Homo-oligomer: A and B are copies of this chain.
Amino acid sequence: MLDRLSAFIGDDNGPWRVTRIDALCGEPLPTVQRIAVVTGAKALAQQSWLLRGVTSNERYVGTEEKQKLLAVQEGLGRTQATMAALIPIRKSAAWWLLSQQERREILEERSHHIQIGMAYLPAIARRLFHCRDLGIPAANGEPFDFLTWFEFAPGDTPRFDDLLAELRGTLEWTFVERETEIRLVRIAD
């Protein structure tokens, strides 16, 4: 299980420099200068600025959608992708009380979340980390339900802005009760 655990750690020597932190709704996060992303046992570190999540099975993507995503998406760590964003989100209790079918209908049939994300591939690479069910005792649970990490080339920044605006205009987003946007730039070696 540890191999699926990642931590985003506020770290003075981290390779990603924070350029902006905006609380869109809910309590803001403390400011931080740099962030390091670590996985596995290193993600168990105790730090004052720390967000954790696990990669997990997909919750909404259908079979054809999954094949399309696999065909077109690219991984993290591309040389030209020196811009990043970390967007922690918590959804409301009302969202979690919906049935799987109702959540899928809102997420895709009515909000087109998967389809919107697909239109920005492969330029905007993303990885989703789940934290809602992550019971880390020292932290008394995690403050968000998901963390999404995005990477893209500087020239694709306007497209990334468009992607966020599209998603935030959807029905699905009315269930978001806490969201913070952190923009980062990779520090040259």
Contact = CB atoms under 8 A, between A and B. Distances in A.
Given A63-B101, A63-B102, A135 B137 contact: no
A133 B130 contact: yes
A99 B133 contact: no
12 contacts: A1-B133, A1-B134, A57-B132, A58-B99, A59-B59, A63-B99, A63-B101, A66-B99, A133-B133, A134-B135, A135-B135, A136-B136
Nearest to A67: B99
A54 interface: yes
A146 to B, nearest CB: 12
Interface of A: 1-2, 4-5, 44, 52, 54, 56-63, 65-66, 96-104, 130, 132-137, 140-142
B137 A134 contact: no
Contacts of A61: 99-101
Contact of A58 (B5, B100, B132, B133): B100
B137 A57 contact: no
A135 B136 contact: yes
A99 B59 CA distance: 8
B134 A134 contact: yes
Given A133-B134, A137-B137, 16 more contacts: A1-B132, A1-B133, A1-B141, A2-B135, A54-B135, A57-B100, A57-B103, A58-B99, A62-B99, A63-B101, A63-B102, A65-B99, A100-B100, A134-B135, A135-B136, A136-B137
